[in-house]
Amino acid sequence: MNENINQEASAPLKNLVGGVDEAGRGPLAGAVFAACVVLNPAKKIEGILDSKKLSEKKRNKLAYLIKRDSIAWAVASASVEEIDDINILQASLLAMKRAVESLPFQPDKILVDGIHSPKLEIQVQTIIKGDSLVQEISAASILAKTARDAEMCCLHDSFPNYGFNQHKGYPTKKHLEALQIHGVSLIHRRSFAPVRKLLPSSHTL
């Protein structure tokens, strides 16, 4: 899954910084998403914060404004199969790499939340708690979170027994109970312990 847009193709593409963040490392189901955002200094967007500090309504409103007013943005993901194959950290970095490479141009520098960074051909700087400190990273966290939540709501239609539209795949009490009752679905991450323990002992990843 990849989305990208360039809102300001005529803008001078110099000294541009892209913020990168992911969403969905903790859930037991669904893909992990990442976004890269290059904000436009000439179009300030009020209220951008770490997505975890915002209500769903506020996140969705800001996601619209970020997509409308940024110089460029991109959203990408890594699948459940990729998560189980290379582990969640590497899948998160893969989603980040895809997001950056999906931009219509490459920024001069990438700022990434946390301590791990994707392998890119451009300068990358990791920032601990960057989603709270750097607006570009906060914006990326909003796009990644809203994209993933929307995907999980869509998957709820295909797998209605698990409540993905409510918990988005996180290991809530209701989700764990649903796993016990209905078993492991096609979109559950088999490499995650709460899911793996429900698989037949002969199952191999």
What is the pTM for the complete model shown?
Answer: 0.90
C-alpha atoms less than 13 angstroms from C-alpha of 20 in its C-beta half-sphere: 35
Instruction: Choose among 46, 51, 44: nearest CA to 22.
Output: 51
Q: Which CATH superfamily is domain 2-196 in?
A: Ribonuclease H-like superfamily/Ribonuclease H (3.30.420.10)
Instruction: Choose among 113, 111, 97: nearest CA to 21.
Output: 113
Amino acid at 94: L
Note whether 162 and 168 are within 8 A (CB): no
Amino acid at 68: R
pLDDT, tens digit only, all 205 positions of the chain: 666 555 544 445 678 999 999 999 999 999 999 999 999 999 999 999 989 899 999 999 999 999 999 999 999 999 999 999 999 999 999 999 999 999 999 999 999 999 999 999 999 999 999 999 999 999 999 999 999 999 999 999 999 999 999 999 999 999 999 999 999 999 999 999 999 999 986 444 4
Note whether 169 and 159 are within 8 A (CB): no
Q: Whole-angstrom Cα distance, residue 145 to residue 89?
A: 17
Tokens representing residue 98 in the block: 């895809």
Strand stretches in the chain, DSSP E: 2-6, 17-23, 32-38, 72-78, 109-113, 123-127
- Domain residues of the chain, as ranges? 2-196
Q: Collapse the DSSP code of 106 into the 3-class scheme (helix H, G, I; strand E, B; otherwise coil) and give the result.
A: coil
C-alpha atoms less than 13 angstroms from C-alpha of 157 in its C-beta half-sphere: 4
